[in-house]
Homo-oligomer: A and B are copies of this chain.
Amino acid sequence: MKTAISPTRVENYPEWYQQIIRAADLAEVSPVRGCMTIKPWGYALWENIQRELDAQIKALGHKNVYFPMLIPASFLAKEAEHVEGFAKECAVVTHTRMVRDETGKMVPGSPLEEPYIIRPTSETIIGEAYSRWIQSYRDLPLLLNQWANVMRWEMRTRMFLRTSEFLWQEGHTAHANATEAHAEATTILNLYANFAENWLAMPVIRGEKTASERFPGAVNTYCIEAMMQDRKALQAGTSHYLGQNFARAFNIKFLNASGVEELAYTTSWGVTTRLIGGLIMTHSDDDGLVLPPKLAPTHIVILPIIHKAEQRSAIMEYCDKLAHQLRAIHWHGRKLEVEIDSRELGGGEKAWSWVKKGVPLRLEIGGRECEAGNVSVSRRDKTYRERSTVPIDALLADVPQILDAMQTGLHTRARDFQTTHTVEINNQTDFYDFFTNGDGGFASTHWNGDAKIEAKIKADLNVTIRCLPLTEDAHVRGTCPFSGEHSAQRVIFAKAY
């Protein structure tokens, strides 16, 4: 069967991913190394993610702020692990003007005394501010967040998944004690997990990173890990308990209720435009993008099918009225977004363009539907040919349930996929076989906690420990198949993006 996207997932998964982005017109590679241009359809997805996440973050008492994008290079150096983690991939601003050289070429002029780096993350510049803003326990907790662009000079980039510049939100909080700060980190982890499950329809495993995968400067890094359709893992969000590391580096101190000076406890956490990559790879098929309805920029497209000129005005009027009625429906905090596509294009080409863009519902209306008061309904989660003709009133009554069913259906399908490809593996041979000859996926396996074993598996198989799951069923004692030693819990191994 011919598919709209070529190659298919089975034929060439990485190339399929690029073609999905192109066919849905989400983004393109830019002339700036490693950076992408996010086009209207892709940016509308990000706006929908932002709107909902921002509301959820604010509902927990966080407020938004904006810190400068440039960070004095000396700030980076204040936290020892942090500088090691980020110095090797940061864009450095060294001059503040361009001038013409003797050949007429534009070259950098006016060197800066101290260079700036473009923020790869903002713990350092925010830490400096917190040291001034926080004086007393009455100033705590301090719960701030910002939506910003950040830059990490990555060697291998892929649109949405890993780009030199990306968009994100970064939360930064300070607390009077470790318990509260730690609770903040897990509260946010749960917020991210629920958002992934309920909005992106992307099932995730909540867990903690091993020391080698921790955020540079963190005490604990928590994460959500999703499984893509090639059975690789995608780290989709992280929440860090920073202990007093950044408080010490930036001198964030407060007088406690007894008048004694203490270092504060801080957290940081973020999700990025990478979520869009996760959404694409979780749901899309060989005909194009598939969007979870709750995040779709357009929920419904109406396609007038006009064969004779004299039908035009009646059909268009019918479409306008239907669009108007649908737009009055509220669904999960938004009015339904409905578009009428009246471009002069063949009906097939037109419908396929919306299939590729992942719009949940397509409504076709020709002379017959118009006369009978009907509409032909196609769902993006069914095949292109499958459609049902129903009376307008029935559609209007059922639309919210149809969209709910689609949202739930995508989640269930992805959850089943993840479950099917998550396997408990208890010996080393099976483990190596799973990742070399087998299909791969998530291996739930015991591990003694030794970083050398972790490193060897990475070197041998390019497989990493995605996380130590927080779920109870992972907390069973057992034997590490790589060392024969005691293991306190199962961990998730996988290849990853």
Interface residues of A (CB under 8 A from B): 28, 30-32, 35-40, 43-44, 46-47, 63-77, 83, 87-99, 106-108, 115-118, 125, 128-129, 144, 148-149, 151, 153, 165, 167
Which residue from chain B places its CB closest to the CB of A104 in the assembled complex? B77
Which residue from chain B places its CB closest to the CB of A94 in the assembled complex? B94
Contact B165 A70 (CB under 8 A): yes
Given contacts A64-B40, A64-B43, A68-B35, contact A93 B91 (CB under 8 A): yes
> 4 smallest A-B Cβ distances: which pairs?
A40-B63, A35-B68, A92-B95, A38-B66
**New A-B pairs, 7, CB < 8 Å, besides A37-B67, A69-B165, A90-B98:** A31-B128, A37-B68, A40-B63, A40-B65, A76-B98, A87-B98, A92-B97
Which residue from chain B places its CB closest to the CB of A143 in the assembled complex? B40
The residue that A97 contacts in the complex, of B46, B89, B96, with Cβ under 8 A, is B89
CA distance A98 to B87 in the complex (A): 5
CA distance A32 to B117 in the complex (A): 11
- Chain B hits for A69, CB < 8 A: 69, 118, 149, 151, 165
Given contacts A40-B63, A92-B108, A106-B83, contact A30 B68 (CB under 8 A): yes
CA distance A97 to B117 in the complex (A): 9
CA distance A47 to B46 in the complex (A): 17
Which residue from chain B places its CB closest to the CB of A30 in the assembled complex? B68
- Cβ of A272 to closest chain B Cβ, rounded Å: 13
Contact B96 A91 (CB under 8 A): yes
- Chain B hits for A90, CB < 8 A: 96-98
- Cβ of A258 to closest chain B Cβ, rounded Å: 18
Contact A92 B91 (CB under 8 A): no
- Cβ of A353 to closest chain B Cβ, rounded Å: 14
Q: Which of A71, A92, A107 has the most CB of B within 10 A?
A: A92
CA distance A119 to B94 in the complex (A): 15
- Cβ of A396 to closest chain B Cβ, rounded Å: 25
- Cβ of A299 to closest chain B Cβ, rounded Å: 17
CA distance A94 to B110 in the complex (A): 13
- Cβ of A286 to closest chain B Cβ, rounded Å: 26
Contact A108 B94 (CB under 8 A): yes
CA distance A153 to B39 in the complex (A): 29
- Chain B hits for A74, CB < 8 A: 106
- Chain B hits for A88, CB < 8 A: 97-98
Which residue from chain B places its CB closest to the CB of A83 in the assembled complex? B106
- Chain B hits for A99, CB < 8 A: 87
The residue that A129 contacts in the complex, of B37, B83, B91, B107, with Cβ under 8 A, is B37
CA distance A448 to B74 in the complex (A): 54
- What are 11 inter-chain pairs, A to B, with CB distance below 8 A? A30-B68, A31-B75, A32-B72, A35-B70, A38-B66, A40-B64, A43-B65, A73-B106, A90-B97, A90-B98, A96-B153
Contact B68 A43 (CB under 8 A): no
- Cβ of A329 to closest chain B Cβ, rounded Å: 19
Contact A115 B125 (CB under 8 A): no
- Chain B hits for A95, CB < 8 A: 91-92, 94, 115
Contact A116 B32 (CB under 8 A): yes
- Cβ of A40 to closest chain B Cβ, rounded Å: 4
Which residue from chain B places its CB closest to the CB of A34 in the assembled complex? B68
The residue that A38 contacts in the complex, of B30, B65, B96, B149, with Cβ under 8 A, is B65
Contact A30 B65 (CB under 8 A): no
- Chain B hits for A129, CB < 8 A: 28, 30, 37
- Chain B hits for A87, CB < 8 A: 97-99, 106
Contact B93 A92 (CB under 8 A): yes
Given contacts A106-B77, A108-B92, contact A67 B97 (CB under 8 A): no
- Chain B hits for A44, CB < 8 A: 63-64
CA distance A30 to B124 in the complex (A): 13
